[in-house]
């Protein structure tokens, strides 16, 4: 076989493999909230919010004033006027302003809320209790539902691949 023909065949094969890989990565990111809403997970984890924060530029976003994404600020979901969910070096956190005080509720890498603190309390971290988790749930549940509701079903469903990639994190 001519070396030139061999080079052309290998180039076409590599371009095809590269295109398939790029499409798969795009599909997983674009439909990550949909896939996350369908996957098994441990109680208390928030894969939908984590995927929405991580892939905010690719997912479908709700068109309302309650939940919005600032296109200039990466990795943040704004909730109403006094709360937002975002990422930091240790995981994710929810910031809520209530009664002229700020509260920061930290999660682990799965979006499960673990500790909280307030600057008014000298930044002293405290563990979560059921009452605080219920307050957080009241803020987070409508946001999660709004985000999930606007996601489209993927034309090529890669749920099994998504589960393989993320199940060890969220389950």
Mean pLDDT throughout 143-171? 90
* 22-31 residue pLDDT tens: 999 999 999 9
CA-wise closest residue to 147 among 73, 74, 58, 83:
58
Pair of tokens at residue 125: 């971290």
pLDDT for the residue numbered 36: 93
pLDDT, tens digit, for every residue of 37-77? 999 888 888 899 889 988 888 998 887 778 888 777 777 88
List beta partners, residue 101: 98
Q: Per DSSP, which regions of 89-146 are E strands?
A: 91-98, 101-107, 113-117, 126-127
What is the per-residue pLDDT for 142? 87
List pLDDT tens digits, range 94-133.
888 877 778 888 888 888 888 887 776 666 777 777 888 8
pLDDT band (50, 70, 90) for residue 1: low
- The pLDDT of residue 14 is 95
Average pLDDT over residues 148-156: 92
Token look-up 């009241």 returns 138
pLDDT at 9: 92
The predicted structure's pLDDT at residue 105: 86
Q: What pLDDT does 10 receive?
A: 92
| pLDDT score for 121 | 67
Q: Average pLDDT, stretch 145-162?
A: 92
Would you state the pLDDT for residue 111? 82
More confident residue, 15 or 85: 15
């Amino acid at each position: 076989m001519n070396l030139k023909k061999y080079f052309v065949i290998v180039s076409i094969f590599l371009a095809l493999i590269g295109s398939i890989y790029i499409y798969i990565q795009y599909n997983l990111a674009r439909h990550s909230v949909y896939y996350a809403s369908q996957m098994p997970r441990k109680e208390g984890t928030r894969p939908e919010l984590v995927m929405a924060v991580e892939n905010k530029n690719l997912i479908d976003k709700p068109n309302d004033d309650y939940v919005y994404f600032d296109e200039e600020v990466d990795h943040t979901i704004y909730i109403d006027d006094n709360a937002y969910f975002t990422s930091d070096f240790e995981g994710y956190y929810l910031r809520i302003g209530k009664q002229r005080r700020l509260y920061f509720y930290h999660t682990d890498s799965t979006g499960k809320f673990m500790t909280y603190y307030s600057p008014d309390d000298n930044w002293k971290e405290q563990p979560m209790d059921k009452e605080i988790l219920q307050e957080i749930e009241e803020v987070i549940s409508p946001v999660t539902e709004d985000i999930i509701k606007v996601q489209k079903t993927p034309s090529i469903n890669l749920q099994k691949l998504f589960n393989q990639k993320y199940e060890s994190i969220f389950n």
